[in-house]
Amino acid sequence: MGVGTFQAWMTGLQDWIVAAGDTWWVHLVVFALCAIDAFFPTVPSESVIVALSSLWASSSVPPIWLTVLAAWGGAFLGDNIAYLIGRTVGWERFGFLHRGRGLKAVQAAERGLDRRALLFLMTARYIPFGRTAVNLTAGAVRYPWRQFWRRSLAATFVWAVYSCGIGAVAGSWFEDNHLLAITVAVVIAVVVALVVERLVSLMNHLLDGRHERAAQRAEEEAALREPGSPDEDPSAASALGGAEGDGEGGNDGPVPTAGVAGGDVPPETPRETGDVEKVEASSVGEHQPSDEDRSAENPGAESDADTDPRRTASPA
Q: 302-312: per-residue pLDDT in tens?
A: 444 444 444 44
List, as one string, the DSSP characters of 4-25. Answer: HHHHHHHHHHHHHHHHHTTSTT
Assign 289 a pLDDT band (cuts: 50, 70, 90): low
Ranges 30-39, 109-118, 201-210, most confident: 30-39
Assign 2 a pLDDT band (cuts: 50, 70, 90): low
Assign 200 a pLDDT band (cuts: 50, 70, 90): confident
Tell me the CA distances in angstroms from 262 to 256, 258, 265, one per residue in order.
Answer: 12, 9, 9
Predicted pLDDT of residue 207: 75
Does the structure show a pLDDT above 80 at 7?
Answer: no
The one-letter amino acid code at 315 reads P
**Over pLDDT 70: what percentage of the chain?**
69
Q: What is the signed CA dihedral for 213, 219, 220, 222, rounded to 10 degrees?
A: 140
Ranges 108-117, 211-220, 238-247, most confident: 211-220
237-242 long-range contacts, CB within 8 A, separation 24+: none
Q: Note whether 136 and 82 are within 8 A (CB).
A: yes
The most distant pair of C-alpha atoms in the chain lies apart, rounded to whole Å, by 171
Mean pLDDT for 121-139 is 81
Predicted pLDDT of residue 77: 96
Predicted pLDDT of residue 269: 47
Which residues, 6+ apart, have CB-to-CB distance to 256 below 8 Å?
A: none
Predicted pLDDT of residue 50: 92
Higher pLDDT, 132 or 301: 132
Instruction: Tell me the pLDDT tens digit for each residue of 176-194.
Output: 777 788 888 888 888 887 8
Average pLDDT score, the chain: 73
Q: How far apart are CA 200 and CA 208, in angstroms?
A: 12
Q: How far apart are CA 9 and CA 41, in angstroms?
A: 17
Instruction: Tell me the pLDDT tens digit for each residue of 70-101.
Output: 999 999 999 999 999 988 887 777 776 777 77
Higher pLDDT, 212 or 144: 144
Tell me the CA distances in angstroms from 213 to 31, 91, 217, 219, one per residue in order.
Answer: 43, 30, 6, 10
Closest C-alpha among 72, 56, 42 to residue 161: 72
Cβ count near 145 (within 10 Å): 15
Ranges 11-20, 93-102, 108-117, most confident: 11-20
Mean pLDDT for 116-130 is 77
Higher pLDDT, 79 or 208: 79
Higher pLDDT, 286 or 161: 161
For every residue of 172-195, which 3-state class applies, written as one string? HHCCCCHHHHHHHHHHHHHHHHHH
Q: Note whether 181 and 174 are within 8 A (CB).
A: yes
Predicted pLDDT of residue 1: 59
For every residue of 291-316, which 3-state class applies, written as one string? HHHHHHHCCCCCCHHHHCHHHCCCCC
Instruction: Tell me the pLDDT tens digit for each residue of 239-266.
Output: 445 544 444 444 444 444 444 444 444 4
Tell me the CA distances in angstroms from 14 to 9, 249, 256, 286, 311, one per residue in order.
Answer: 9, 96, 104, 134, 158
Q: How far apart are CA 150 and CA 153, in angstroms?
A: 5
Which residues, 6+ apart, have CB-to-CB distance to 178 below 8 Å?
A: 18, 55, 58, 59
Q: Note whether 70 and 34 are within 8 A (CB).
A: yes
Kindly tell me the number of DSSP H helices and DSSP E strands found in the chain.
Answer: 13, 0
Predicted pLDDT of residue 34: 94
